[in-house]
Amino acid sequence: MMNYDYVYVGCRTTKERNARGKGLTVYGIRPDGSWEERQCLSVADNPSFQCFDQEKRFLYSVHGDLTLVSSYEIREDGTLKHLNTVDIGGRNPVDITVDAANRFVIVATLQGGTLYSIERRPDGSLGEIKAAYTYEGKQEGQVSTIHQCLWDHSKEYLFACAQGRVKGYGQIRALKYHPESGEFEETSRFLARTWDEPRHAAIHPNNRWLYMCEEKGNKVLYFQFDHESGQLTALQELSTVPETVTGYSDASEVMVSPDGGYVIVSNRYTDLMAVYRIDPCTGYLKNTGFFPCLGKTPRYFCFGPNGRCYVANEDSDTIVEFFFDPATGQLTPTSRVIPTGSPVCIQFL
């Protein structure tokens, strides 16, 4: 029996990424809330982003900058057993998720510009690619670089943000998912302004409001989503950095708070967390503050099962824990800092 809650931390490991990570790391959370390293597993470089299957018996990881995806069995003590690694051909897989039926693992590739539906075998390992959906670029042979694959709450639609990166188009699409084949069908598309570069989105618990951050534009956009038609309608745009910031910044991650009351966006290089109150009637946003992340390059953050916010500061090799006040949106550091090399993803079991 598991006596711990477990946390799985993905990282960068390569010299090209100026990284200090050693591998996919498993932590146990003690009753007092402190983290204890239980395993560091090295299979291939840059085990960057992970997800669980629907039963949380298996973990899947992409290997950033490569073309590889790995599967792992989660053992009773929370540690991982490597099952297999497959080469999907699409370069730089950056996000991963599993469909509602536990049948397919969906992977988004950046330079590959393609979503892949990979068969999930009964033993949890990865099988063959069953479907692929590519975002076209400006010319034949070019692509728009996909940065995320996010389900709506029904898991009938996938939202996939893409950056232009000169040869493609910055955009977000809503895609109707066909669970029998693993194929996707576009129902809506929003084209961003040139160079704004959409990166990630987050869906509100009501499944009607979607919030997207744009990496280079340093903006957060609010969309209404119609589940019946699959249509996205853009309604608002706000800055993710204070108006007094004039230097370089990259928005990186966006989340809706667990209670559905706020949107939070992390900003790299300015190293700030932007917080916005959600109007409970309309879904529109109002900024309520900017908070230092107490580290360098907050590529990722998430909320833990205890309601606290955990920020992965890639270039200071730390995960910093914050209290989140659902009444005010205030982020307050708890003084708990977990040292870990080049963290870029956190998954709580």
Tell me the percentage of the chain whose pLDDT exceeds 90: 99
Band of pLDDT at residue 3, cut at 50, 70 and 90: low
pLDDT of residue 2: 47
Contacts 24+ apart (CB under 8 A), 223-226: 223/172, 223/190, 224/283, 225/152, 225/174
* Per-residue pLDDT tens over the stretch 46-58: 999 999 999 999 9
Mean local confidence (pLDDT), 304-316: 97
Band of pLDDT at residue 302, cut at 50, 70 and 90: very high
pLDDT of residue 155: 98
For residue 168, the domain's CATH number is 2.130.10.10
Q: CA 239, CA 217: separation in Å to the nearest integer?
A: 8
Mean local confidence (pLDDT), 237-241: 98
pLDDT of residue 1: 40
Burial 82-103 (b: 16+ CB within 10 A, else e): bbebbebebbbbbbbbbbeeee
Mean local confidence (pLDDT), 90-110: 98
- Please give the residue range of the domain that contains residue 314: 5-348
* Per-residue pLDDT tens over the stretch 147-170: 999 999 999 999 999 999 999 999
Structure-derived torsion over alpha carbons of residues 295, 296, 298, 303, reported in degrees to the nearest 10: -10
Residue type, 113: G
Split into its structural domains, the chain has a count of 1
* Per-residue pLDDT tens over the stretch 13-53: 999 999 999 999 999 999 999 999 999 999 999 999 999 99
Mean local confidence (pLDDT), 136-141: 97
Mean local confidence (pLDDT), 216-238: 98
pTM of the model: 0.97
Band of pLDDT at residue 4, cut at 50, 70 and 90: low
Residue written as token pair 């469909």: 99
* Rama region for 142: left / alpha / beta (φ>0; ψ in -120 to 50; rest): beta
